[in-house]
Structure 1
């Protein structure tokens, strides 16, 4: 196994602080125009270097051991037995169209530490991708790893999709003195969408009947009628620890409200991202606005929130992959919390706020918003699984680096045997700049745009839309060619999609590097310059600042800047 973990540092923290990380939106077949399943992910951390991981398929000799490293820190955790064969993995998707993403919810502090545990959430994801072919098998592999080797992370919501099914599993460790974790996994009903963003979301769940089984009966998970799976002690452990009343009814037990109760920050900085997505696909979410803003979380006698959003909703219309990409670019537009509309956006309407997110004035605490699109994204993707195509060409990881609102998702076939050099592990790092790396090239453009957002970002958006539409069109042609080749020569077909993916990714970075040069020339020194054909000098414009901002300057400076006749 390639020790990519040593090169990756990801500081993910739970929702009780204002430095949240990661967002997942999930789409079933019946919710998309083409019948694909999809999951989105933004890995949001101020110290995560955006790059595209790759583990090639490999056969392993009997007795081989796997070194496990914590994804966040690169710390060596221990060794576990290797399996006989591991699958090709590109980023968070494997050659069988299995994709896995996550968001950290943290949960009860007393359950965060487990001495001697080996499997952290990153290892759970990437080891499972190398060992499982579909979502149900992934649940078995992942929970078995956790049971055998312990859970070395805090609470996690994990998305698992394959070409036919979409699942959410929520996991939290048992704390010191106990091994493993308690968990619940639920399949999203076809035709629905779901989401999670650093706040646990599974509440009550079915405990009996054909739709649900405990971990003691995991051999039944492959029954398609089973849509809920949970650890056998998920409720008894909570009662033992005093998290849930001994006389509490099992049917009323809520995983999230017990192990990760939602508070103001869990709503305002986490659930609000889910609300914005749900509202975009089905504008009937006004009833949950007060909850999502943290202004009114209603509770019952157990302390459970009673006005929470549903785990999944049905979209009013089916969506396509381009729309899915755009869901990741939200800044709470169209709401009273639109980040481009208050004074914090400045005269150039920038929908970003530098950290820290919370601050105090005159003893009162305030917050900046945490929207889906954020400046500290390391990498982001839309994983798309297509069951009408063979696995070799069905899975596409639409991948980008940096802020999703200003990035470009390019198509990376998940059976590819190489990744583009511009996105490869080892090409630069968080403290090693190189203009050959996608992460740095995109950050140059994005950070320049932040300085005069309403002038520069529209140019980025136009370029982004054109390229992503072009890539969608290209994929249709590559699919057709690769499918025909696959019938004749599998090896040639995989080389074909690998070459396409790598050339597209590298060309995108070349294009974006040139784009930065164009933007810098046009907007340098506060000017807006436009070339005039046949003339040496460009047209120069200097847009005036908005009147409200000028008035604020005068209010602060008094007569200091006044012109005296």
Structure 2
């Protein structure tokens, strides 16, 4: 989603913009860095106006002459039409039936390069590429062809593109008013490494003669020279510094999230190759001045080594609030009396002529949906792709597995089941919002209850996936011997797909699991109301039942009042203590 932009005056003062729109976070994990050989990509689609639902498009075939209408993802605005291809692949959210994953973050970049010079917005590039490409490299080709053929009308974007074997980061930007097409560069994340991006372009200098691992538009450097953005040697060219120059916003509001993800997944040690190919190890805190926006010259590496990274590890990174770092939002008075790790927007505030930051962590209140895409190359595509999907604030919501070969979607995630302006009691987005907003009032007391439920569900579900895969493989092997192997078209331009029994089984598992945890969350919201009503905490027995007064099972026997943090008490006393102090009357 979109990044917040800076006015010239605020850039000069190196402060965050007072106008904040939307922002996202991606973490990319190669097979060699993951615990089981999966490619993993996480995505939080963060927006104050985005509704969390699961986009589902079955595979289809189309007659010659069919046109595809293009609507801008952010606004729903009709942009135009392009010719449809003969065959499209099934897509489930940000994955397709071939285990291809595509996600994004918007970095904006030079404002003079944004403009309505075409009909392809960044969201359309994602979802059309998923319908037309099988591999990451094919997806890059599709994105480039679409943007250059029909024009690009969004601002600068970073894309995460992964398949079971490769993980890529691609960055692009338009050419400005009057010029159609994009300049771009894509780099393959070395196996055994991780990458991340969070609304700031990150590809710095890149190899010009390594097409196996780095590809780019022919004019990515010459266009910058033509526009006066760059004057050095080709070998000195930096994509991010040229097309999205660093400022305080890009570092503190964006690169800080990348730093935090790297810090967590590497245990605080950044191991990477320097510009000369030498392996270097640095402490994460060697880059804290860069992450906090104070030293743009101390640039973090694009890739760092990691090992043993699991789906759960990545999911929990998406729940980070900078805990334990200098940017930890629970430790200052802005956290209120219950250590709330959030700051309501805007992204900054002014006081007595100075501008201050409202921190932007990975976990945030305005998430529409979030996910961890998992591509597993040792399994056939019909079984291997899992989209771990959730809605709203990652810190108080669950991820549930959605196999990418499903024939239907869970009702709680179904498109059209509610909207950002229409409440639905059967929508996961609205129920996770209810739980999150309940926690915001007493976060340090209530959030732990929610997190324990999340961990219990996710750990149990991850543990049962191998048995689900095993059963699916049994059905796959039966169908492999006896079933049809090719797509067949019917009169409604839909296709019947091989391995129908496999897909039915995985659909049933996906829907049952998603609906069961949704029901649990409905019960959780009621539990939170009962336990924490009016700032109290009702006591419970070891078996979870309520402690009663011994005379009636309708009257609690234990009610405590947790009160506020010491930081809050100190602030209240300093602000109003002379009035609030308890003073016994003189004798």
TM over 0.5: yes
Q: Measure, in 1, the Cα distance between the counterparts of 2:333 and 2:21.
A: 21
**Alignment partner, residue 242 of structure 1:** 228
**Alignment partner, residue 220 of structure 1:** none
Q: Measure, in 2, the Cα distance between the counterparts of 1:429 and 1:345.
A: 30
Q: Measure, in 2, the Cα distance between the counterparts of 1:549 and 1:147.
A: 55
Q: Measure, in 2, the Cα distance between the counterparts of 1:547 and 1:229.
A: 54
- 1:473: how far off? 1.8
- 1:546: how far off? 3.4
In the alignment, structure 1 residue 532 sits paired with structure 2 residue 547: yes
Q: Conserved in 1, the CA contact under 8 Å of 2:390 and 2:400?
A: yes
Partner residue of 1:375 out of 341, 365, 377: 365
1:334 aligned counterpart, secondary structure: coil
**Alignment partner, residue 217 of structure 2:** 231
Gap regions ≥5 residues in structure 1? 1-10, 213-225, 299-306
**How far does the alpha carbon of each residue in 1:357-396 deviate from its partner, in whole angstroms, 9 at most, with x for none?**
2111100011111010000000000000000100001000
Q: Measure, in 2, the Cα distance between the counterparts of 1:468 and 1:291.
A: 34
**How far does the alpha carbon of each residue in 1:406-459 deviate from its partner, in whole angstroms, 9 at most, with x for none?**
110000001112111111110001111121100000000001101000110010
Q: Conserved in 2, the CA contact under 8 Å of 1:114 and 1:179?
A: no
How many residue pairs get matched? 528
**Alignment partner, residue 338 of structure 1:** 328
Q: Conserved in 2, the CA contact under 8 Å of 1:67 and 1:80?
A: yes
Q: Measure, in 1, the Cα distance between the counterparts of 2:5 and 2:384.
A: 35
Q: Conserved in 2, the CA contact under 8 Å of 1:332 and 1:339?
A: yes
Q: Conserved in 2, the CA contact under 8 Å of 1:96 and 1:391?
A: yes
Partner residue of 2:440 out of 439, 450, 457: 450
**Alignment partner, residue 294 of structure 1:** 293
Between 443-452 and 533-542, the greater mean CA deviation after superposition: 533-542
Partner residue of 1:543 out of 534, 554, 562: 562
**Alignment partner, residue 486 of structure 2:** none
- 1:20: how far off? 4.5
2:370 aligned counterpart, secondary structure: strand
- 1:346: how far off? 1.4
Between 259-268 and 470-479, the greater mean CA deviation after superposition: 470-479
Q: Measure, in 1, the Cα distance between the counterparts of 2:454 and 2:295.
A: 38
**Alignment partner, residue 276 of structure 2:** none
2:195 aligned counterpart, secondary structure: strand
**Alignment partner, residue 277 of structure 2:** none
**Alignment partner, residue 425 of structure 2:** 435
**Alignment partner, residue 32 of structure 1:** 34
Gap regions ≥5 residues in structure 2? 7-16, 269-282, 480-498, 540-545
Q: Conserved in 2, the CA contact under 8 Å of 1:88 and 1:417?
A: no
**How far does the alpha carbon of each residue in 1:157-180 deviate from its partner, in whole angstroms, 9 at most, with x for none?**
000000000001100000111110
- Mark the CA change 1:27 to 1:510 in structure 2 (over 3 Å): closer, same or farther: same
Within 5 Å, give how 1:48-447 maps onto structure 2: 48-115=50-117, 117-208=118-209, 211-212=210-211, 226-245=212-231, 248-282=232-266, 283=268, 284-298=283-297, 307-315=298-306, 317-447=307-437
In the alignment, structure 1 residue 513 sits paired with structure 2 residue 512: no
TM-score normalised by length of structure 2: 0.88
Q: Measure, in 1, the Cα distance between the counterparts of 2:130 and 2:189.
A: 20
1:452 aligned counterpart, secondary structure: helix
Q: Conserved in 2, the CA contact under 8 Å of 1:20 and 1:269?
A: no
TM-score normalised by length of structure 1: 0.92
- 1:120: how far off? 0.5
**Alignment partner, residue 571 of structure 2:** 552
**How far does the alpha carbon of each residue in 1:490-511 deviate from its partner, in whole angstroms, 9 at most, with x for none?**
1011011011111111111111
Q: Measure, in 2, the Cα distance between the counterparts of 1:174 and 1:50.
A: 32
